[in-house]
Structure 1
Amino acid sequence: MTAQTTDSTAPDYRDSVFLPQTDFPMRAGLPQREPEWLARWERIGIYDRLRERAGDRPLFVLHDGPPYANGHLHIGHALNKVLKDFIVRSRQMMGHESRYVPGWDCHGLPIEWKIEEQYRAQGRDKDAVDVVEFRQECRRFAEGWVDIQREEFKRLGVTGKWDDPYLTMDYHAEAVIAAEFMKLLMNGSLYQGSKPVMWSPVEQTALAEAEVEYHDITSHQIWVAFPVVSQRDFAPLDGCMRTDLLGASVVIWTTTPWTIPQNRAVAYGPGIAYGLYDVTGKGAVLLADALAEQVFTAAKLEPDSWRRLRDVGADELASLVLAHPYRGIEGGAGEWDADIPVLPGDHVTEDAGTGFVHTAPSHGDDDYQLALKFGLVLTHNVLPDGSYRADLPVFGGQAILTADGKEGPANVSNIKALAGQGALFAKGKIKHSYPHSWRSKAPVIYRNTPQWFAAIDRELSDGMDDYGQTIRARALTSIDALVEWTPQTGRNRIHSMVENRPDWVLSRQRAWGVPLTCFTKRGARPDDADFLLRSHEVNTRILESFQEHGADAWYRDGFKERVLDGIVDPADYDQVTDVLDVWFDSGSTHAFVLRDRADGTPDGLADLYLEGTDQHRGWFQSSLLQACATRGRAPYRGVLTHGFTLDEKGMKMSKSLGNTTAPQEVIDQYGADILRLWVAQSDYTADLRIGKEILKGTADAYRRLRNTMRFMLGALDGFSDAERIDPAEMPELERWVLHRLAELDQRVREGYAAYDFQGVFRALFDFATGDLSALWFDIRKDSLYCDAPASTRRRAVRTVMDLLFHRLTLWLAPMLPFTCEDVWLSRLPSEDDSVHLHDFPATPAEWLDPALAAKWDALRRARRAVTAALELKRADKTIGASLEAAPVVHVEDAGLLAALRSVDFADVCITSAIQLSADPAPPEAFRLPEVPGIGVVFAQAPGQKCQRCWKILPDVGSHAHEASCARCDAVLAG
């Protein structure tokens, strides 16, 4: 029998080969099997068992940002919770007591809307329903979604205290939220002000900045002429009074024509150059010189139809008195007869417009600040539903925005009225970014309305001055000195937001939430010292009632009388009925979770908050401001942010576009571990893409990794401690694997600690599929299958396999909890054990051997040259397998040649033989450009094929066992 033929009469030694044996299936079947693991973990109580044996482990607490209890989970929820789970599990396995209490945000408008929709469908009038009954309907709705989302989160494999989560609507939580609010009442930061706030006409409530998102819209833009009617107290330097401005017009620009009826002033920039221009057919107008030509272009004027007459200085502008463009309008009833002053404003720029800013103090913050400075009167023309008050002349009852968020008639009516007054200098359309409610997706407006605010620049009388005396000062100090931001750009983002943000609008004109638990004195003004009732005894009574009955108690008949009785006369006080901004609810969670729960933290601080980048203006900021107001500093030591989820093309996901990826769909098709693996493979610090093709690639990577784990399990069949040998007795190749394990131990721990999950997974995946499957496993299959069980080499391989099992399985467990549980129990079956009950094993530092690693890096490069040469021979059918070859390898470098001779390089290259030569390589030798100094000359292996190990060797056929080599003959002999 030659090496190239097979004799059907040859002995069959297959039963004597030690092939891998494992019940670990090649096909994962994750969608079907994962629920079994979930049930098992719940049955054996893994989370609570870890807490029970905490001992003196250092504490690590990731505080959960509460999702809203309204609707099924989307892919962003999955990303967020999976990232949190990576951290919680890895910190636990690195020796911490790592706690995770999931929570839900349960109050707020979206839930109210759902109940109102149900009422409308039933023909019921919400306003006719008792407020407590309505609130209880909202509570039941939230409870239902909490239960649904809890199961969906658990299905992702997320560990945590699922049987006792925190809910912002729990009675204790509501009591604490009220208590935190009353700290603002007592420390002086709470005040009531009538000022413009972002208002949603659709939802009929004030909104905070965190509840607003920006989208491009196309708006009207108009240029409006305000006629100059007089000058006040102006003395020109030359003593010569000019009258050419009388009868001229100051031109303003705005994209909100509906605010013109509320105009009370025009602002100019003191540092801007202005001119008086004569315009054919329109008279004299005042404009900023830098913007004049743009204005005339917008008015579609010919270049020769206007000319500049002279400079107009700031002092002269300050003397001007204007008429409102609606002065004298038919049906105006004197509404707009008051003079309009021209006032200096630092907010006026030359970036766009005319250099003059239309000022409606009730509908913009800059306008409001100017009104405060110069004593302008605020208007109250716009009602909560976004329409003008019914008795407003000319425009009464007209909608700015309709109930469904569409543009009402108010803008067009104003444009027509201005044209009729001869005040419309130009008009057009403009596409620009505009604020929208993130809940209803409808545009919002600025509207003057009485609201309750937390003053972020007022000195607080609470004695917590270590990091500042105001909320803003404490917040900025926390950002800079007390919190670690990952990535660091998060610090810059939130710092600029806090540095420039206005006072916090706390009140909402809704029903489902924690009320503003305060009382106002009848007849007192908001700036009176006794306007707010400040009583520790009253506060205590409120909190006791909330602890027992929840915040519903505030709305029950007689509550005011019960809590005020014997302290003040209840008849002297009014009870506030607004509810708190839900961001105050979620911002207070540190108090009733971290501070109050037994599984909280001793100092009430979290080690980490983790959410999307949008939460710099959301939960990160509301928690920061709330805690700075009530405890003097940020409630967290670290903040980690992730990006958003996009489709495969990088587009924002949208149901209308049909490009969404639902977590449940991924789980049903692939299993939760594939979804988790997608997270692990992604750079979560940027926006993440997901879709069918990406998930196919993820599933392929999973299969490769699973095959590595399966081979490892099969190779360890029957291994026991009696087989184990010391590293000092091992061949170099096994000691090199130990070196790699020691390197990876450091990389894994540092990576998990730095939240670099992509880096951890990439290192482990490359090791598993490259160092192991493509090299070590490939080389050592011969030893595993064919060496005698007692041989040193085979024992070394299996010893290393065992060490590998305990590390690779545990290192991957935080990311692939289902698969690693399967791997663990496949080898170590137990009724009550789990991979998740174990820490990462300690890895001896003495396994590190840089010199050996450098040597094997060189050997691997040389091996690549040999395997590349043999691939060509396989391709042209000269050989069918590498064991049919016995190449000659010419090596120029003497050091490398010595290294190759110090090992069995034929085994390394998986050839039956190999000849190493220092002679120069002949011209026909194969060379690999990236491995210089090595030439490979192909030669077929001499001899016959061993029917047990398949090596082709000269001694085959010369032993007691026919058609075996010496090694196999000895094994067969026993």
Structure 2
Amino acid sequence: MSESSPDPQDRYRETVFLPRTSFPMRGGLPIREPETLARWKASDLDQRIIEAGRGREVFTLHDGPPYANGHLHIGHALNKINKDVVNRAQRMSGKRVRYIPGWDCHGLPIEWRVEEEYRKAGKNKDAVPVLQFRAECREYARKWVDIQSAEFQRLGVQGEWHNRYATMDFSSEAAIVEEIGRFLLNGLLYRGLRPVMWSPVEKTALAEAEIEYHDITSTTIDVAFPVIADPTPDQALSGASAVIWTTTPWTIPANRALAYGPEITYAVIQVDDVAPESLVPLAARLLLAEDRVADFCKTSGILEHHVLSTFPGSALEGAICSHPLRGEGYDFDVPMLPGDFVTTDAGTGLVHLAPSHGQDDFVVTRAYGIEVPELVQDDGTYAPWVPLFAGVHVFKAADPVCAALTDALQRRIANGDAPAGLLARGSITHSYPHSWRSRKPIIFRATPQWFIRMDGEGHLRAKALDALKGVTFVPEIARNRLTSMVEQRPDWCISRQRAWGVPIAIFVHKASGEVLRDPEVMQRVVDAMREQGADVWYSADPARFLGPDRNPADYEQVFDIVDVWFESGSTHAFVLGQDGLNFPADLYLEGSDQHRGWFQASLLESVGTRGVSPFRALVTNGFVLDEQGRKMSKSLGNVIAPADVTDKLGADILRLWVVNSDTNEDLRIGNEILKQQGELYRRLRNTLRWLLGALDGFSPAEAVPFSELPELERYILHRLTELHALVRRGVETHQWVGVYPALHGFCTTDLSAFYFDVRKDAIYCDGVDSLRRRASRTVLDILHRALCTWLAPVLVFTAEEAWTARFEEGESVHLQAFLTPDAAWRDEALADRWTRLRGVRRVVTSELEAARRAGLIGASLEARVRLPLTEREAADFGDVDWAELAIVSQADVELLVNAPTIYLDGDGSEALPGISEPHGGPTVAEAQGQKCARCWKVLPEVGSHGAHPGLCLRCVDVVETRMPGMDGASA
């Protein structure tokens, strides 16, 4: 290099330790991530992870199976990424983690998809042999299991994908039937007639978890039931009719009783005047709750009335009415019964009871021995034996029911009898249950179904509630939700009237109606299914299961399939407790909707067959909404698909969104939010890149013992102990909210904006043997290992890239453990001192920025700072190299004798230390001297060395060490 070079800095460029790294500034994640997945597959990383965990304490997160139907949605991504973060963090904390992903493969949605193909081809599903239909359903599910598996892996989710479980595997189907058999043999399973949620469209019973609510407009009717038995002492009900109000006119044919509230005050009124359009006859005597009289008169067109008598509801005990359609095939008495569910919030304070179509109705009427009629068929039409309405669909029954009730009322009026029939008709918009698959309204319908008993023999409810007491909930408030659901749920209806699923493989004796409870029969069924799958129940001769001592002609073979929630709730039976997996599982983690779904089904199934909860802890995440807080919908155009994010931004961006969100609440996502996550990612990546560049050529021999580290390095190591405590808390509590935002804050505030900034000069310009440079690179090495491992559970691809940029590719970061800080690193007193120092520094840098804006200086190295300190401040901070800390060329401390010390933060508050304003803040001036051509500091000593007149003395020493032959003429 010639001395006459136009740029004197060029002479010394090779002596500066400029950062060098193969880790690029741009992530290029959509391209690099698939390449990384391919390398992991080629190196069999999943198996190496399994092998590395042998002999360690086991941690088991049991996977709640997603449904094998369609591409992944953003809720799938949220859930699986959450699970993956937990699993990876547990593994890097020293546990053996084997994650077995699973799929729910049976059920109605898959049936519907296959039936859609039939309809397109003009085929009748009922004409297709059941085994052929089941085979097509199986193939459909298998296709989507493979597709979803690939999509989950693209998200960076680590698991034993080759060893996944599926509810349609032969071994799984056998285990599910075995669990049904356990309930059969322990007496908790029974067949009974009671109302269940029924889909007329899908022609099957539904579980509560398969229900969603939408607003509909329903016809409302007020109906008069004549009193024919009056128990009141003064015959207050003589000639009166009880008035009910209902939003389901179609249930009137099933009416068998009326309910009153024993504590409610009732009134008998006489009608004195009505509007012309009113249906209510003059002089009618009507019974209803006193509090509802005014509203009823308004809606029914009663203009004037007077009260004949009032009395408590308890006085109605023993009252009997007649059905308003008596004489038309409904010739039975309608008793009035007490019901604690009756209120005066709406209606008339009297409730008509149709035990076939309501849970409360069923319970009350059965307690009094009243029959439960079967009037509605599986398609929602009235049965042929229903008077007046045979063949009518219940959702189209309002008009014919109202017409029949109107005719009845007219006949009663003509005969001078107490009113019986329709008194008023209206409409109401209200929330109503719908099937979440067909999006069509459902009904409550009493049909013979298979139930698991919640109370009585076995005491399943009480045992389940007791088991929950030992479960950890995250967040804790979720305990109330699951507990209340278990407390309130009716007996569990587990039967479905469909074809694609695991059959309730049970026999019923035809003559006696007794269920066959024979362990040997059940074992033969289980063994056959383990070998041939559930199809064997449809293809084999029943004699194969019943054995030689029973005649198949004497038994009914049950072909109902089991509720898919029972199936998924049974997965612990064929996944956990074997092959190194804990039972109970250490953790179940799903969305908050699973309190009524998988969490509850798993709890009841396990407690019912094993007496214990299948999980030690439950973690719940919220739902994903768009940026405006709306539910995602194709019609709104606000759907964010995981595949779109990975293709455009990369999986690590999506994973970063998950851990930066409060997953305990509902989350929001959209293009702007993802853009923000991209910015956060860029800062984290830049931190890793700077670390890697500054560590170029680092070797363990360069490391400085902790006892010899400067204060600043020991302070940074103390900060690592604080972050390690956060990570440990996340591992131990499964509560990760706030952990990764804290790591991001550390990278941007503590490192990039402070430590890296302060130590950049030493790392770039100090000599190789400089203690300051070696100490800093010692800490950078620790920081790199800590950040790569702490970020690895989330930024699975980026952390791997940053790790292999320093180490061999075979040494995956995902085979490493979290860095564990030395106990000596924790130093609260030192941390307090540096918190105050950073407060002072903020005041100085604020003045530097003001000087820069005013044009007094350009870069901070052009500045000289005068820092006034009181005696106490000087004692605390007098040994600090303020020029280095403030990144200026020169800094002078001015001692103020007898000045008060008032520590202030940089914003002027007294919460944190800083420079005391009463004695004046720092002042900024131009630094004196010349600019060093190598380190760019402005110092008076520059120019004092003859051979290197453009350098400061520190840089002269380094240059002559780095380039021994270099003099003033040539290098």
Sort the TM-score into its range (normalised by shorter chain): over 0.9
Contact 1:858/1:896, CA 8 A, preserved across alignment: no
Instruction: State the distance in 2 between where 1:449 and 1:784 align.
Output: 79
Residues matched between the structures, number: 925
The CA distance in 2 between the partners of 1:49 and 1:374, in whole Å, is 66
- Which of 407, 416, 433 is residue 420 of structure 1 equivalent to? 407
* Deviation for aligned residue 1:8: 5.3
**Residue in structure 2 matched with residue 895 of structure 1 by the alignment:** 872
Q: Is the 8 Å Cα contact of residues 263 and 314 (structure 2) preserved in structure 1? A: no
1:547 to 530, 536, 550: 530
| Alpha-carbon shift at residue 557 of structure 1 (Å) | 4.6
Cα deviation code 1:140-182 (max 9, x no counterpart): 0000000000000000000001011000010010001000001
- Match among 593, 598, 618 for residue 579 of structure 2: 598
> Structure 1, unaligned stretches of length 5 or more?
1-5, 401-407, 461-469, 526-530
Rounded Cα–Cα distance in structure 2 between residues aligned with 1:417 and 1:38: 70
Of 344, 358, 364, the residue aligned with 1:364 is 358
The aligned counterpart of 2:927 is 941
Distance in 1 (CA, whole Å) between partners of 2:702 and 2:770 is: 10
Between the aligned partners of 1:295 and 1:122, the Cα distance in structure 2 is: 55
State the 1:64 CA deviation: 0.2
**2:510 pairs with 522, 541, 557, which one?**
522
Secondary structure class of the residue paired with 1:251: strand
Partner of 1:185: 184
Structure-2 separation of matches of 1:769 and 1:310: 79
Map 1:526-537 → 2, pairs under 5 A: 531-537=514-520
Which residue does 1:583 correspond to in 2? Answer: 565
Which stretch shows the higher mean deviation, 797-806 or 123-132?
123-132
Tell me if 1:874 matches 2:852.
yes
Q: CA 1:736–1:449 in structure 2 vs 1: closer, same or farther (change >3 Å)?
A: same
- Superposition deviation, residue 513 in structure 1: 0.6
Cα distance in 2 between the residues matched to 1:859 and 1:415: 83
Contact kept, 8 Å, 1:752 with 1:760, in 2: the verdict is no
Closer, same or farther: CA 301–891 of 1 in aligned 2, 3 Å: farther
Asked if 1:671 is matched to 2:650, the reply is: yes
Q: TM-score, normalised by structure 2?
A: 0.93
Aligned mates of 1:411, 1:722 — CA distance in 2:
89
3-state SS in 2 of match to 1:456: coil
Matches within 5 A, 1:402-417: 408-417=395-404
Measure, in 2, the Cα distance between the counterparts of 1:82 and 1:10: 50
Q: Which residue identity is paired with 1:378?
A: V
Superposed counterparts of 1:488-887, under 5 Å: 488-525=476-513, 531-558=514-541, 560-595=542-577, 597-601=578-582, 604-830=583-809, 832-887=810-865
**Which one-letter code corresponds to 1:348 in the other structure?**
V
Query: Would you say the 8 A contact 2:290–2:310 is kept in 1?
Result: no
* Contact 2:869/2:915 (8 A) holds in 1: no
Does 2:256 correspond to 1:264?
Answer: yes
Shift of 1:542: 0.7
Secondary structure of the corresponding residue to residue 434 of structure 1: strand
Aligned AA (2:148): Q
1:9 and 1:782 map into 2 onto residues whose CA distance is 19
Amino acid at match of 2:437: R
Note the C-alpha offset of 1:932.
Answer: 4.7
**1:276 aligned counterpart, secondary structure:** strand
Verify the 8 A CA contact 2:843 2:915 in the aligned structure 1. Answer: no
Contact 2:503-2:559 at 8 Å conserved across structures: yes
Distance 2:906 2:389 in 1: 88
Which of 387, 391, 415 is matched with 2:381 structurally?
Answer: 387
Deviations, residues 4-46 of structure 1 (Å, cap 9, x unaligned): xx98567642222110000101000000110111112222222
The residue type equivalent to 1:436 in the other structure is H
Distance 1:295 1:888 in 2: 86
SS in 2 for 1:568: coil
Report 1:199-348 matches (<5 A): 199-228=198-227, 230-231=228-229, 234=231, 236=233, 241-242=234-235, 245-280=237-272, 281=274, 282=280, 283-302=284-303, 305-314=304-313, 316-328=315-327, 332=328, 335-348=329-342
Offset at residue 766 of structure 1 (A): 1.0
Q: Distance in 2 between matches of 1:84 and 1:658?
A: 28
CA deviation digits over 1:217-237, x for unaligned, max 9?
Answer: 332222111122x226x372x
Label 1:573 to 1:794 Cα distance change in 2 as closer, same or farther (>3 A): same
* C-alpha contact (below 8 Å) 2:198/2:206 kept by paired residues: yes
Residues 824 and 315 of structure 1: is their aligned pair in 2 closer, same or farther, counting only changes over 3 Å? closer
CA drift of 1:130 comes to 1.2
Q: How far is the alpha carbon of 1:391 from its aligned partner?
A: 4.4
Q: Which amino acid aligns with 1:259?
A: T
Deviations 1:748-781 (Å, cap 9, x if unpaired)?
1112322232322022111111110000100111
Contact 2:717–2:826 (CA<8 Å) still a contact in 1? Answer: yes
Aligned to 2:968: none
Alpha-carbon distance in 1 for matches of 2:46, 2:162? 10
In 2, the alpha carbon distance for the partners of 1:182 and 1:727 equals 64
With over 3 angstroms needed to count, the CA separation of the structure-2 counterparts of 1:739 and 1:10, relative to structure 1, is closer
Contact 1:391-1:397 within 8 A present in 2 as well? no
- The 5 Å alignment of 1:9-158 reads 12-158=11-157
The amino acid of 2:460's aligned partner reads I
Deviations 1:418-476, CA, capped at 9 Å, x for gaps: 2333322222222222212122222110001110111111323xxxxxxxxx2111100
Distance 1:105 1:346 in 2: 40
Q: Which segment is superposed worse, 344-353 or 194-203?
A: 344-353
The CA distance in 2 between the partners of 1:267 and 1:926, in whole Å, is 70
Matched, 1:904 2:881: yes
Cα distance in 1 for partners of 2:888, 2:407 equals 96
Question: Structure 1 residues 786 and 10, CA, compared in 2 at 3 Å: closer, same or farther?
Answer: closer
Within 1, Cα distance between the matches of 2:312 and 2:657? 63
1:317 Cα deviation from its structure 2 partner: 2.3
**1:675-713 deviation digits (Å, cap 9, x = unpaired):** 000001000000000001111110000001110100000
AA aligned opposite 2:167: T
Tell me the residue number matched to 1:467: none
Structure 2 gaps, min length 5: 275-279, 410-420, 962-971
Aligned with 2:356: secondary structure? helix
Match of 1:464 in 2: none
Deviation at 1:63, TM superposition (A): 0.1
In 2, are the aligned partners of 1:941 and 1:953 still within 8 Å (CA)?
yes
What per-residue deviation string (whole Å, max 9, x for no partner) do you get for residues 63-97 of structure 1?
Answer: 00000000110000000000000000000000111
Contact 2:840–2:915 (8 Å) recurs in 1: no
Distance in 2, matches of 1:23 and 1:8, equals 28
Q: Percent identity?
A: 52
Letter in 2 for 1:483: V
Cα shift at 1:350: 2.4
**Which of 417, 435, 438 is residue 437 of structure 1 equivalent to?**
435
Check whether the contact 2:53–2:97 (CA below 8 A) recurs between aligned residues.
no
> How far off is 1:279 after superposition?
1.8
Of 639-648 and 449-458, more deviation after overlay is shown by 449-458
